[in-house]
Structure 1
Amino acid sequence: MKFALSGFDMVSDFYGSPHGIRFSIPGSQWFIVPALMSYFASEGFQTYFETLPEVIVRRRANGAPMTVGNLIIEDKPEIVCLDDELIHNMKIKNRSEAFEDSICVAYMGDRKQPDICHIENMRFAIPNPTTTSLGLAFKNYYEKECSYYGELREGSTICNVPHREIPQKIMNGQVDYGIMWNSEARHWKFKHYFPDIVKRKFSWLLMENAQSPAAELFQRIQSGVIDRYYSKYGYIIANK
C-alpha cells in the first residue's frame, strides 16, 4: 500500500527498506542512489539509503537518531560514506578510500566568471558551513585566499543555504551563481568553473555495528564494482 498526499510526501532523502543494509551518505550523492540500489538488488542485496548533510551523516554513524516529522529512525547505518576531514573518533571495522570531488561555481546562460574573492555584492548562493563539508571547504578557502567570510553576508550573497536548494535557486533565477560540487554541477548540466582548486577526499566506512551481509557488500564496494557510477559524474576514483 502506498500512502502519499500532495504536499506531504516529503521523505525524499530516504530510499529502500529499513530492513536492508543501511547506508548513510552525503546528500550531494542523491542522484547516484537509484543506480546503486538497482545494482545491489541485482546482486541479491536489499539496501536502505539516507542522503544527508555530511555533519548529520557523521552524527548518524555515531548513533544519533533521525527525526522526520513524527517518525524517529533509531537504527544506525552500517556503511557510511564521509569526507575524510570528518572521520575521527568513530567506531569502525574497516575503511576504504572512495573518491575525490572538487568545488566549483555553477551557473546558467552567458555570464561572466567573476573572481571568487570579489563576490560580496553578487547574487551567489553558498552552502551552510556548519552542516556540509562543501560549505566548510569553501569558507576555509575564502578566509585563506580572500577575506573574512562574514563580509559575504553584508552584500547580496546568500549564505548558509542547504546545498540541495542551490540548483533550484539557479534554475529559478533567484541567484546567478552557486557553490556546489563539480559532480552535482555535471548532473544538472550547469556551466561551471573554478575546478580542481579545492578538493575533498571521501571514504567508505564499515561501522562497528555492521552485520555480516553489510560486511560482504562492503568488500564488493572495496573491489571497485560501483566506481563506474561515480566516475560518470567526474568523481576521481581512488586507486585500489
Structure 2
Amino acid sequence: METGGNMAVLSPGPVRLSVPAADVVMDLHGDPAHHDLALFVHGSDWMVMEDLLRAFRAAYPEYGDVYYETLPAGILVRQMREGALQVGDLVIRVPPDVIAAGSTTLAELAEEEWLTEYEEYASTTLTILVRQGNPLGIIGWGDLLRPEVRLALPNPEREEIGRLVREAIVQALGEEGWIELCERRRLYGANRLTEIHHRQTPQWILNGEVDAGPVWVTEALHQAREGAPLEAVELVEGESRRGRFALGIVERTCRHPEAAQAFVEFVRGPGGRAVYEQHGFEGPAAHEPAYESAPAGPLGV
C-alpha cells in the first residue's frame, strides 16, 4: 500500500525487529495470536521440538501454524492457572490445546479437571553434567559435597527434574546432604538454583560459573551432538532416577480439538516415537518409579 510520495510499498508479513542480546527468548515459538495449535511442552523436550514439528507438519499440513512453549512445567502450570505469562513488560495470553510434562504433573492437572486423559510417551534418566575431561573427577552425588565443587541445582518448586534430583541426593547423602547442597552452600554463593535448567546449567558450566549440575541424559546427549565441551557422569545403578513424560489435551482451554487430537496421536505413534528415539529418549516406563515418591509439593504453586 502506497502511503506517501516517498514511502516504500509495504510488503505482507510481520515487521521484523531483532536486537541481538536484547531480544532472545529461546523457549517461546510461533504466533501467540494466530495459530492452528498451541502446545505447552516442558523444557525437557526442547531439543526435540523442531524435528518433531517438522515431521508432524509433513503428516498434517493443515496444522502448519503451531505456537509452542518449552518452559519448566512449574511455569507452564502457573501460566495455565493464572491465564498469562509475563516476560519483562510483554504479557502473553495463550490457552494451551495440549500439555506435555511429567506424569505426576499431568495427574495433578487431571485432579484439578484441566484434562480427563493423558498418556505417557517417553522417558529418560538423570546424569551429572561436567566440563569435558571431568577435571574435578566427579563420579557420583557424594563428590558434590567436596568444598571445591560449585553446583547448579534445578529448583524443585519450578522444575520436575528438581523433584527427582532431591530424591536421589537424599537417598545417597541423607537429608543433611541435601540441606548442605541446596541451602547452606547457596547462602555463600557456591551453589545456585536454576529457573530453566536446560538453558542455565550447560551455560553456567561453560562460563566457569559452576562445575557440575544434574540434567537429563537426553540433554547431555544433545550437548555432545552440538560439540559443546561438556560430558556426562554416568551414575551407578540405584543413584539415578527415571523421569516419565506424558501428554494430554487440555479440555478446559482447548480451542483446536482436532489438531490437538492429531498431535497427541502423532507423538504416541511410530512417527513421534522415532523422533524421540533419535534424540536419545526411551519409551514409556510405567514399571519404574517416577515422580510419585519425590518429596515435594505440587509444581507451580
Give the TM-score normalised by structure 1: 0.90
1:65 corresponds in structure 2 to: 84
Which residue identity does 1:166 align to in structure 2?
A: T
Tell me which residue corresponds to 1:114.
139
> Highest Rg: 1 or 2?
2
Pairing of 1:90-239 with structure 2 (within 5 A): 90=112, 91-111=114-134, 112-120=137-145, 121=147, 122-147=149-174, 148=176, 149-152=178-181, 153-155=183-185, 157-162=190-195, 163=197, 164-189=199-224, 190-192=230-232, 193-194=234-235, 197-208=240-251, 209-210=253-254, 211-238=257-284
Whether the 8 Å contact between 2:103 and 2:244 is mirrored in structure 1 is yes
How many residue pairs get aligned? The number is 240
Q: Spell out, residue by residue over 1:67-116, the C-alpha distance to the aligned partner (whole angstroms, 9 max, x if none).
A: 12222222211111111122212421431211111110011232213331
Match of 2:299 in 1: none
For structure 1, the 5+ residue unaligned runs are: none
2:56·2:266 contact (CA, 8 Å) conserved in 1? no
Shift of 1:236: 0.9
Q: Which amino acid aligns with 2:192?
A: C
The answer on whether the counterparts of 2:140 and 2:235 sit within 8 Å (CA) in structure 1 is: no
CA contact (8 A) 2:98 2:248 kept: yes
Matched residues in 2 for 1:71 and 1:27: separation?
Answer: 21
CA contact 1:103–1:195 (8 Å) conserved in 2: no
Deviates more, 1:77-86 or 1:223-232: 223-232
Residues 119, 230 of structure 1: alpha-carbon distance in 2 compared, 3 angstrom cutoff: same
8 Å CA contact 1:104–1:195 kept in 2: the answer is no
**Equivalent pair of 2:141/2:172 in contact (CA under 8 Å):** no
Q: Secondary structure at the match of 2:117?
A: strand
Cα deviation, residue 139, structure 1: 1.1
Query: Residues 128 and 159 of structure 1 are in contact (CA less than 8 Å); yes or no, is this contact kept in structure 2?
Result: no
Amino acid at match of 1:143: V
Match of 1:26 in 2: 42
Kindly indicate whether the alpha-carbon contact (under 8 Å) linking 1:182 and 1:195 is maintained by their aligned counterparts in 2.
Answer: no
Equivalent residue of 2:79, what SS?
helix
Where 2:271 maps in the other structure, the secondary structure is: coil
- Cα-to-partner distance string for 1:18-44 (whole Å, 9 max, x where unaligned): 223000111232222211222223231
The answer as to whether partners of 1:126 and 1:157 remain within 8 angstroms in 2 is no
Task: Determine which structure has the larger strand proportion and give its number.
Answer: 1
Identity of aligned residues (%): 21
| Alignment partners' CA distance in 1, 2:270 and 2:89 | 38
Tell me the secondary structure at the aligned position of residue 166 of structure 2: helix
Q: Alignment RMSD, CA only?
A: 2.2
Alpha-carbon distance in structure 2 between the residues aligned to 1:92 and 1:102: 26
- Answer whether contact 2:153 2:193 (CA < 8 A) is retained: yes
Q: Which runs of 5+ in 2 are unaligned?
A: 1-14, 225-229, 286-301
From the superposition, tell whether residues 181 and 201 of structure 1 become closer, same or farther in structure 2 (CA, over 3 Å).
same
